[in-house]
Structure 1
Amino acid sequence: MKVSNFLQQLYSLCLKYGLEIFSLDYTDITVFSRIGYSSDVFIQVYLNSKKEKLNLALVISKNRIYGVDKEGGIYHEHPLDNPETHIPLQKGISLEEFILKSIDILKNLGIL
């Protein structure tokens, strides 16, 4: 995905789900952003369009509690119950799917 298209999607999804953009840095091939509800509860987003890599992490109080990322060309999940574990995935996850999963996690934790 082109960086410009991804940025449009990022802005659109933040509006759709009431997320604030706390930081946003990008180049012609990468995007790094933190979006969320507060500086302590956010989704960290990293896109590398050249490597076709999208890494996503739900962070609470500086700790990743859930994530999906790509290493060695293979996507894996860091599950909520043990975020240091790597569970291989057949395919990646879209930014919107990750946002929805994160909202569900935050609701179940009583944060939202």
Structure 2
Amino acid sequence: MKNMKVGNFLQQLYSLCLKYGLEIFSLDYTDITVFSRIGYSSDVFIQVYLNSKKEKLNLALVISKNRIYGVDKEGGIYHEHPLDNPETHIPLQKGISLEEFILKSIDILKNLGIL
């Protein structure tokens, strides 16, 4: 994530969507930010926010307009919003890559019987 350029991140996003069979439902970007929703339906998706200037990657697994799992950065510190209580903040030593988050989300969706 350190010094991730928007162009490189977009290439990674497209590549991972192809690799894991995800659809891009929305994509908006500037020279320093990316906002996207990728997933399986408009009701089951991963919300992706990158701010390359702040070295911030926020990720949320959303089902029916509710975040059920997430990893994001507040005040320079990454934290996890666990599946069993997504409003809780559990501090993390480091962030998570987009691919790691996709794999974790697929696992969660399989365990919930959605995939």
TM-score over 0.5 for the pair: yes
Structure 1, residues 45-100: CA drift from partner, whole Å, max 9, x if none?
Answer: 00000000000000000000000000000000000000000000000000000000
Q: Distance in 1 between matches of 2:49 and 2:94?
A: 17
Aligned residue pairs total 112
Percent of residue pairs identical: 99
**5+ long unaligned stretches in structure 1:** none
Q: Distance in 2 between matches of 1:75 and 1:82?
A: 17
1:28 shift after superposition? 0.0
Structure 1, residues 8-33: CA drift from partner, whole Å, max 9, x if none?
Answer: 00000000000000000000000000
Q: Distance in 2 between matches of 1:62 and 1:48?
A: 23
Structure 1 residue runs of 4 or more that deviate by more than 6 Å after TM superposition = none
2:42 maps to 1:66: no
**5+ long unaligned stretches in structure 2:** none
TM-score normalized by structure 1? Answer: 1.00
